[in-house]
Every structure is written in structure tokens, then in C-alpha cells.
Amino acid sequence: MDHPPSVLYLEHDGKVLLVDEEGNGPYLPETNRIGPTKYRLPTTEEATALGLSWAVKNRFQILGFEVIKAHPEIEWPADWAWKDDCISDDWVHPIAREAIYRSIHRVVSKVIIQNPKGEVLMGKVERGHFVGHWTLPGGYMDHDEHPEIACVRETFEEMGIKISLLEEKPIITQKIFTSEGISFVSFTYRANWSGDDKLIKPKKNEIADFGWFSPQDALDNAISGFDIAALKHL
């Protein structure tokens, strides 16, 4: 199947529009189906011909093809494809499947830990996105894991200490950082810790060092957009 240089990824509450090579649709995927590619995302012209209008959310590139992510201005399209059913169907074009994969939120959970002086605990990262920079403890949530559990687990893994979160709502932020169009969502909690620094054991090959910073110094040293957003609340 020839693929247009630009396609429109229309999604509404888990439903996406698939068309055939001529722009006709909607079509439905089948899980684990094997065979030649037959369905893809529509072009803007094809979507217009189907009587659709939409609000553009963002744009990104996949292997040189432009994908325009948009929300259709219609009622919930019950006859469209469930996005989760498209992933394992060979009939659905790889560009459509990759666009769906990129639309899934990546969720991280972090924590602002303060000592009795009000200083903030940070670790200098040795691997991942922020090598050589200071970040708050935390990281990716495991599957089927609550964010409250995730940041406590990550703190123990990264710093070797057990914490109890304060009973307050987390700071929630969302942002797309790169041209790939992947959205990250962060939950940042708060905790107090009054233990001996000798108990802090940075994880080997992940956290090079730890330090306590005043809230302003923590903000000045933070590199993660999520850390910066959370620290501003202090």
C-alpha cells in the first residue's frame, strides 16, 4: 500500500478512524490478523470528504511521514476502531500503529522529600534522560501500580530509604517534550524525612550522588520540566 506524505490521526475517547487506500471508511481491525496492509489513517482531504471537521492537537513525524493528531468534532463514533485493537492487526499500516503507540501516555511518579531544615533531597543521575543532572527521586510507574506506591518504591530503589507521603494531593503535570509527540504525565508527592544521611545509599550505576538543597537551589539545579513545575509550588 502506498502511503500519503501526511495523514490525520483522529481519536475520540479511544476510537480512531481507519480508511482503505481509496479513503473509504470507517474500517475495523481484528486482533492478531495476518496479511497485507489494507487500512491506514485518512488524509485531511479524505476526512473532509467524509463530512468531518476537527481540532488539531499536535503534529509529529514518523519515518518522514507527517501525522496530524486531532480531535474530531462529532459525537462519540461507535463505528470507528478501538485504538487498542489496531496494534496487532497486520492489515493496519505501521504508521497508524506507531501513531497510536505514541499517543499512549508515559506516566512517572516523583516525590519532594524535605528534611527538618526544609531542604530538598535530590540525586545526580547516571543513566536515562538526565545524566549528570540533579533530579527528584522517582521514575516510571510499573504496570498496574498506583503513583503513591511508585514514588515510595522508586525512592527506596534509588536512595535506599523508606518514606511516608504527606496526606495531600499530588502536583500533576503533563507535557510533550519532543517532536515524537509522546506525552508524559507526572504525579509529584511530598514527604518529610528526618533520618541520618548515612542511611541514604544511592543506587549503583543509577544515582552518582545525593544532596540536600534549599527549595530555591533545588529549583535552580532542576533540569526536568516536571521537577521544575513541582518545585515552584514550594
The reply to whether 46 falls in a domain is yes
pLDDT for the residue 176: 87
User: Residue 66 and residue 15: Cα distance in Å, rounded?
Assistant: 20
Closest by CA position to 11, among listed 80, 71, 92: 71
Q: pTM for the full model?
A: 0.84
Kindly report the three-state secondary structure assignment for every residue of the chain: CCCCCEEEEEEECCEECCECCCCCCCCCCCCCCCCCCCEECCCHHHHHHCCCCEEEEEEEEECCEEEEEEEECCCCCCCCEEHHHHCCCCCECHHHHHHHHHHCCEEEEEEEEECCCCCEEEEEECCCCCCCCEECCEEECCCCCCHHHHHHHHHHHHHCCCCCECCCCCEEEEEECCCCCCEEEEEEEEEECCCCHHHCCCCCCCEEEEEEECHHHHHHHECCHHHHHHHCCC
pLDDT for the residue 182: 87
Please give the residue range of the domain that contains residue 62: 6-103
Say whether both 127 and 219 belong to one domain.
yes
pLDDT tens by residue, the chain, 234 residues: 889 999 999 999 999 999 999 999 999 999 999 999 999 999 999 999 999 999 999 999 999 999 999 999 999 999 999 999 999 999 999 999 999 999 999 999 999 999 999 999 999 999 877 889 999 999 999 999 999 999 999 999 999 999 999 999 999 999 988 778 888 999 999 999 999 999 999 999 999 999 999 999 999 999 999 999 999 987
User: Residue 195 and residue 197: Cα distance in Å, rounded?
Assistant: 6
Question: Tell me, what CATH number does 222's domain have?
Answer: 3.90.79.10
Q: How many domains does the chain have?
A: 2
pLDDT for the residue 60: 93
Say whether both 98 and 111 belong to one domain.
no
Say whether both 195 and 221 belong to one domain.
yes
Say whether both 90 and 194 belong to one domain.
no
Chain Cα centroid distance, residue 118: 30
Say whether both 99 and 163 belong to one domain.
no
Say whether both 99 and 113 belong to one domain.
no
